[in-house]
Amino acid sequence: MFRKRLFLTTVLAMAMTLSASLLKAQQAQDSLIISLDQAIEIALEESNTITIANLTIEKTGYARKGAYAALYPNISASGSYQRTLKKQVMAMDFNGQSMEIAVGKWNNVNAGINAAMPLINASLWQSLKLSALDVELAVEQARSSKIAMITQVKQSYYAVLLAQQVYAVYQEVYDNATKNFEHVEHLYKAGKSSEYEYLRAQVNVRNAEPSIFSSLTAIDLAIWQLKAVMGVDLDTKIGVAGEIDMYKDEMLTYESDDLMVDLDKNSTLLQLNIQNEQLERSVKMAKYQYIPTLAASFSYNYIAMGDDFKFKWNPYSVVGLSLNIPIFEGFAKRNNIKQVQATQNILQLNIEDTERNLRIVVKNYNNQIDTYIKNYMAAESTLEMAQKSYDIASKMYELGKATLVELNDAQLALVQAQLTMSQTVYNFMVTKASIEELLGNDEQF
């Protein structure tokens, strides 16, 4: 009775695993299968990160256009009305007699147009160049966001491929365990196998099931992460094309050179250099405040006064030049210049440290890649031996010349070699994507 109950439990577990596999296959059939390039293209169109970056550029562009408004004439129209409540009284002597005369009118109206524009203002011109650098910095920040997002898409895509490969390995382990169980069951019923071997085979099948379920969950989570990075609806059914092992040739042919690392496109350094140029413009703008400014103005007005509302309008107009020569302001300009120059010196030191640290990071990445390549080659050699060992152990087990423990040991070595190779390729591709992000490579998209 015990053996029958255990056998039914095992069959039920096998059915559950088969159902999960069939469900995954059905989901994959209903899903949109995309390549890595398609995933990146979708992310560039749908991701909020890219949308925010583009809106930031647009906002900065409007700010720059607003700064250029200072070069155009500032034209305004004005009008006013005043009602006199009590007229002003003027006292004067006339032929030895004191007289008081009320002056002004009860109603006063004034309307006109005024215009002014700078003719010479060196500090203003520098501020316009400074606003242009703001746009340039926003563009570079947007490019940085784009590169970072592409890296995230790549790494998430590779994670899905790795999860699928892990599932395939554990599915093979499960299939082998099931096959061995069927073989042992046949021998057990024929009285040629012990109950221990029979129970052991059943346990192997049960032990293989959690790995199957865990790998299926890992695939779902990896796909969810990919969809989140791409910016698509999480309910969208997608699948990925390819296998993680298809990148092994790229790994084995990869060449690294720490001495020839080109950081000219690194976004962090480019942003720091733009900020340094902004500080240079700020210093010039502060120095140009010592230069006199010249502005032109024009005014055309109508004025009318009367005790009643039958006005007679009288026009008058004025055109003029305004010259402002700075002489002394309590050393405010000089201290401002010194402050900006000190900030610039700090920034230049930060640029040097950043470049040095980036080269260290690249060196570390390349060392990791060299280790991955060595690990892969060792695992590849081990896989060939492990496969032969498992095939021999399997044949010997079928002939009754090897135990199930020996067969399990051979399979464990085979699985470890397979997972090591796939994990190593995944680690290489993730690290390579990080290097591309650090170098600022965005030519492909």
- Look over the chain and give the mean of its residue pLDDT values, rounded to a whole number: 84
Handedness of CA 271, 272, 273, 279 (dihedral sign): positive
Kindly report, residue by residue over 240-250, the tens digit of the pLDDT: 999 999 999 99
Kindly report, residue by residue over 34-93, the tens digit of the pLDDT: 999 999 999 888 888 888 888 888 888 888 788 778 888 899 999 999 988 888 888 877
Pair of tokens at residue 213: 């379920």
pLDDT of 373: 92
Q: Is 191 helix (H, G, I), strand (E, B) or coil?
A: coil
Parallel, antiparallel or unpaired: strands 88-94 and 238-240:
unpaired
Q: Which of 123-132, 193-202, 204-213 has the lowest mean pLDDT?
A: 193-202
Pair of tokens at residue 85: 């409540």
DSSP secondary structure letters along 310-345:
----EEEEEEEEEEE-----TTHHHHHHHHHHHHHH
Is pLDDT above 60 for 226? yes
pLDDT of 296: 93
Is pLDDT above 70 for 195? yes
Region 128-141: mean pLDDT is 87
Pair of tokens at residue 298: 């024009």
d(CA 110, CA 8): 103
pLDDT of 111: 94
d(CA 255, CA 369): 10
Region 146-161: mean pLDDT is 94
DSSP secondary structure letters along 250-315:
HHHT----GGG---TT-HHHHHHHHHHHHHHHHHHHHHGGGS-EEEEEEEEEEEEEESSS----EE
Look-up of token digits 């120059």: 341
> pTM value?
0.77
| CB-based burial, 254-290: b 16+ in 10 Å, e otherwise | bebeeeebebeebbbbbbbbbbbbbbbbbbbbbbbbe
Domains, the chain, with CATH or none:
2-73+120-291+331-439 (1.20.1600.10)
Counting residues of the chain whose pLDDT is more than 90, the rounded percentage is: 37
- Residue of 341 and 397 predicted with greater confidence: 341
pLDDT band at 11 (very low <50, low <70, confident <90, very high): very low
How many residues can be counted in the chain? 445
d(CA 27, CA 348): 55
Is pLDDT above 70 for 18? no
312: left (phi over 0), alpha (psi -120 to 50) or beta: beta
pLDDT of 6: 42
**Cα-trace Rg, the chain:** 40
Look-up of token digits 């700010």: 63
Q: Which of 153-157, 381-385, 402-406, 419-423 has the lowest mean pLDDT?
A: 402-406
Q: Cβ contacts of residue 43 below 8 Å, gap of 6+? A: 50, 149, 150, 153, 229, 230, 231
Is pLDDT above 50 for 2? no
Q: Which of 10-19, 362-371, 399-408 has the lowest mean pLDDT?
A: 10-19
- Residue of 103 and 228 predicted with greater confidence: 228
